[in-house]
Amino acid sequence: MERRLFGTDGIRGTANREPMTAETALALGMAAGRRFRRGEHRHRVVIGKDTRLSGYLLEPALTAGFIAAGMDVMLVGPMPTPAVAFLTRSLRADLGVMVSASHNPFADNGIKLFGPDGFKLSDEIEAEIEQLMAEGPEAGRAAPAELGRAQRLEDARGRYIESLKSAFPKGLSLQGIRLVVDCAHGAAYHLAADLFWELGAEVVKIGCQPNGLNINEGCGSTHPEALKTTVLERRADLGIALDGDADRIVLLDEHGQLVDGDQILALIAREWQAEGRLARPGIVATVMSNLGLERYLSRLGLGLERTRVGDRYVVEAMRAGGYNVGGEQSGHIVLTDLATTGDGLLAGLQVLAAMARAGRPLSEVARLFEPVPQRLRNVRTERRVDLAAPRLEALIGRERARLDGRGRVLVRASGTEPVIRVMVEAEDEQLLEDVLASVAGAIEEAARAG
Q: At what angle do helices 344-358 and 81-90 cross, to 10 degrees?
A: 100
Q: What's the pLDDT score for residue 450?
A: 65
d(CA 360, CA 294): 25
Task: Write down the mean pLDDT value for the chain.
Answer: 95
Q: What is the pLDDT of residues 81-115, one digit of tens each?
A: 999 999 999 999 999 999 999 999 999 999 999 99
pLDDT for 20 equals: 97
Q: List, for residues 65-88, the tens digit of each pLDDT value.
A: 999 999 999 999 999 999 999 999
Q: Residues 6 or more apart from 86 whose CB is under 8 A from it?
A: 118, 159, 160, 163, 339, 340
Q: Is 328 within 8 Å of 285 (Cβ atoms)?
A: yes
How many angstroms separate the CA atoms of 366 and 268, rounded?
A: 9
3-class DSSP state of 335: strand
Residue 217 is predicted with a pLDDT of 97
Q: CA torsion angle for 16, 17, 22, 24 (degrees, to 10)?
A: -160
Percent of the chain past pLDDT 70, that is, above it, reads 99
Region of 88 (left: φ > 0; alpha: ψ -120 to 50; beta: rest) is alpha
pLDDT digits 0-9 by tens, 285-314: 999 999 999 999 999 999 999 999 888 899
How far does CA 249 lie from the centroid of its chain? 9
Catalytic annotation, residues: 102
**pLDDT value, residue 103:** 93
Tell me what pLDDT residue 40 has: 84
Contact 82, 311 (CB under 8 A): no
Phi-psi category of residue 422: left, alpha or beta, with phi > 0 → left and psi -120 to 50 → alpha: beta
- All domains in the chain, ordered by first residue: 11-154 (3.40.120.10), 177-246 (3.40.120.10), 259-365 (3.40.120.10), 374-449 (3.30.310.50)
272-276 average pLDDT score = 97
| Residues 219, 220, 225, 231, Cα dihedral to 10° | 120
Report how far residue 296's alpha carbon sits from residue 158's, in angstroms, rounded to the nearest whole number. Answer: 38
Beta-strand ranges (E) seen in 59-149 are 72-78, 95-99, 108-114
Alpha helices, H only, 70-190: 81-90, 123-135, 156-166
Cα torsion 124, 130, 134, 138 to 10°: value is 100
Give the lowest-confidence range in 137-151, 325-339, 340-354, 415-429: 415-429
Q: Report which DSSP code applies to 93.
A: -
Instruction: Record the pTM.
Output: 0.91
Nearest C-alpha neighbor of 341 from the set 152, 153, 112: 112
Per-residue pLDDT tens over the stretch 344-388:
999 999 999 999 999 999 999 999 999 999 999 999 887 788 888
Cα dihedral: 267, 270, 275, 276 (round 10): 130
Lowest mean pLDDT among 193-197, 414-418, 431-435: 414-418
State pLDDT tens for residues 1-12: 567 899 878 999
- Could you tell me how many residues make up the chain? 450
End-to-end CA gap in the chain: 28
- What pLDDT was estimated at residue 2? 65
Give residue-wise pLDDT tens across range 226-239: 999 999 999 999 99
